[in-house]
Amino acid sequence: MTSDFGAVRENLFSASHGAIADWTAFPWHRDRTNRIQAHKVHSSQAIAIDVFGTLKMSTDRDRIFDAIAERAGVAPGGPWAITLEWTDTNRLLGEPRPTQVDALAVGSKSALVIECKFTEPGGQCSQTTALSSGERQCNGSYADQINPRNGVRAHCALTGKGIRYWEYIPEVFKLDPGADHTPCPFKGDAYQWMRNAVLAAAIGKHRNLEAVAIAAFADHPGFPTAQKVKRGLVDPGYTGRAAVTPISYQQIIAIARQVGIDEELWNRLSAWVDHKIAKAASVHSRKSAIQLREAPGF
């Protein structure tokens, strides 16, 4: 374990280290062998800590989050409190396992629900995955159907399990919950961004704050989320305004340079992040090439 933490520290920007109060208790992302993954150059958790851990510890924190809030269309106003790997212990969405987001920033007027991506795409809904029986709990549409696993009739298999996404979706995405939608508006990785958007709405209601979801991503042409941002994280036809505001790590650091005072810190963080993105892009490119060569019919 000690050797794990040594490798992790080397892969984290030094100014972010203080954001982790207890390195043993921190909810590190782990692989199937329980090994901490933040030592890897392409670790999404590591680059999130690089940036948001540094912001958390910086004396420029309030100025920077005020600027990010304004960019996302919610009210600025500190002091801002930043929690890395925040867990919804209130289970505001009724999920059986509490939602965990990469960072939550809470000011005096607004909250920012921050999901971070590096070289990976967004997560997808599991309800359309085939069961061992070959059946699927959802047919891929938002339409009246019966879940073969539990026998519950609902438009959404998750609603049938008591999960409250569709209590917030109508307002956030301007969708009629009584109408059929074929295919589901949140197929593919739009599902994860929907979850973050409705979680933000739930937090805003619970805390009486303005709230919005932020997609923090590494902007590189070879990375899936960066590509998705250019097409739209969620179909803009489903919402009156952007339900999720994408801001790249590079843009966040540019904001820090513009409004912050500690120019030397942000220049160092910029160089660190740029170097990490370049290294991760090289690894990602090699893996993609290997997968292509091994694909059937190549």
Domain assignments of the chain as residue spans, ordered by start: 2-118+200-294, 125-187
DSSP alpha helix (H) spans, the chain: 2-10, 44-48, 54-57, 61-72, 165-173, 190-207, 224-231, 249-259, 263-294
pTM of the model: 0.92
> Tokens for 62?
């309030």
Buried b (16+ CB within 10 A) or exposed e, 92-106: bbebeeebebbbbbb
Q: Are 70 and 62 in contact (CB under 8 A)?
A: no
Residue-wise pLDDT for 206-255, tens only, equals 999 999 999 999 999 999 999 999 888 877 666 655 689 999 999 999 99
3-state helix, strand, coil in the chain (%, to 5): 40, 15, 45
**CB hemisphere CA count around 259 (13 angstroms):** 19
Tens digits of residue pLDDT in 155-201: 999 999 999 999 999 999 999 999 999 999 999 999 999 999 999 99
